């Protein structure tokens, strides 16, 4: 079984709510962690940024917060922010799933965004399974019929069942956990064609490939959650009208420039970057 670890954080204003998930394969986790730890060590070496200080995107880019013994201006911070986004794109086999919802007209845009994200993660794991299992069966079919361990090989190759674990920043743990537990039992999905074969507008497709409840951590304890915060903030600034400084330093263009290549486009095929908007 292969497992994807998804690190999730949010960014929002009065108009948009963005939720971004960085997906890392379990077999690549140590490599990714080594890279971001090394990157943070270089930031400390070059700019004095405290290794254990949380980089919160909104405060960091706006010039607030004591992150170093030395003064780091907004221009330099914007370059550091750009480098952090670039570091995400360089992780091996990394993927991004992004949600961007209009706030207006929603009772709870955060829980709506979590619903969309969880369903996309579930569908992505299912897509990986549908793609991989036929390839493995083809490999078995090519083995000689008298191969002594053919059955054992077939069992091992067909045991591929991708699963996901979600890590998130602390905040609203009970509500988010309740929503996800409910989705594992009752998860009505509307048909993209208007109705399902049975003539119903929705079909119950419970979440099966997301393991356990989300694991909530303090973001200052996780480099990956801090990166997810940076990704969500960059997405928000792409989607809303930017302030003078956001435009001046090009922060509104960084998401597409740095991260478009790792966005999982199948999450929402009609969107050029796969961003889920409904």
Q: How far apart (Å, rounded) are the C-alpha atoms in residues 97 and 23? A: 8
Lowest mean pLDDT among 71-80, 115-124, 158-167: 158-167
Determine the pLDDT at residue 190: 84
Mean of pLDDT over the chain:
92
Confirm whether 26 is domain-assigned: yes
Range of the domain at 7: 3-267
Residues contacting residue 7 through CB under 8 Å, at least 6 positions apart: 21, 22, 24, 167, 168, 222, 224, 225, 227, 228
pLDDT tens per residue across span 19-71: 999 999 999 999 999 999 999 999 999 999 999 889 999 999 999 988 999 99
Confirm whether 163 is domain-assigned: yes
Confirm whether 274 is domain-assigned: no
pLDDT tier at 134 (50, 70, 90 boundaries)?
A: confident
Residue 197 has pLDDT above 90, yes or no: no
Confirm whether 273 is domain-assigned: no
Confirm whether 88 is domain-assigned: yes
Confirm whether 150 is domain-assigned: yes
Write down the pTM of the prediction.
Answer: 0.92
Confirm whether 272 is domain-assigned: no
Burial status of residue 18 (CB atoms within 10 A of its CB: 0-12, 13-18, 19 or more): buried
**How many domains does the chain contain in total?**
1
**Average pLDDT of span 109-117:** 97
Determine the pLDDT at residue 1: 66
Confirm whether 131 is domain-assigned: yes
Residue 5 has pLDDT above 80, yes or no: yes
pLDDT tens per residue across span 209-252: 999 999 999 999 999 999 999 999 999 999 999 899 999 999 99
Residue 117 has pLDDT above 70, yes or no: yes
């Amino acid at each position: 079984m292969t497992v994807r670890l998804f690190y999730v954080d949010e960014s929002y204003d009065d108009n948009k709510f963005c939720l971004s998930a960085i997906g890392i394969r379990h077999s690549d986790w140590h490599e990714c962690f080594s890279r971001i730890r090394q990157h943070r060590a270089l930031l400390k070496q070059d700019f004095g940024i405290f290794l254990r200080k949380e980089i919160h995107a909104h405060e960091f880019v706006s010039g607030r917060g004591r992150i170093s013994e030395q003064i780091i201006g907004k221009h330099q911070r914007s370059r550091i922010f750009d480098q952090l986004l670039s570091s995400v794109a360089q992780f091996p086999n990394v993927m991004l799933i992004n949600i961007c919802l209009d706030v207006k007209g929603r009772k709870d845009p955060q829980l709506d965004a979590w619903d969309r994200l969880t369903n996309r993660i579930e569908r992505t794991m299912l897509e990986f399974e549908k793609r991989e299992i036929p390839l493995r069966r083809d490999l078995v079919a090519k083995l000689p019929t008298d191969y002594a361990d053919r059955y054992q090989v077939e069992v091992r190759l067909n045991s591929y069942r991708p699963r996901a674990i979600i890590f998130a920043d602390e905040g609203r743990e009970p509500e988010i956990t309740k929503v996800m537990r409910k989705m594992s039992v009752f998860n009505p999905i509307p048909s993209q064609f208007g109705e399902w074969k049975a003539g119903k507008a929705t079909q119950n497709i419970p979440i099966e490939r997301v393991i356990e409840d989300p694991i909530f951590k303090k973001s200052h304890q996780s480099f990956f959650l801090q990166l997810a915060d940076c990704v969500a903030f960059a997405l928000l600034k792409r989607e809303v009208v930017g302030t003078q400084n956001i435009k001046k330093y090009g922060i509104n263009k960084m998401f597409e420039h740095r991260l478009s290549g790792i966005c999982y486009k199948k999450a929402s095929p009609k969107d050029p970057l796969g961003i889920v908007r409904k």
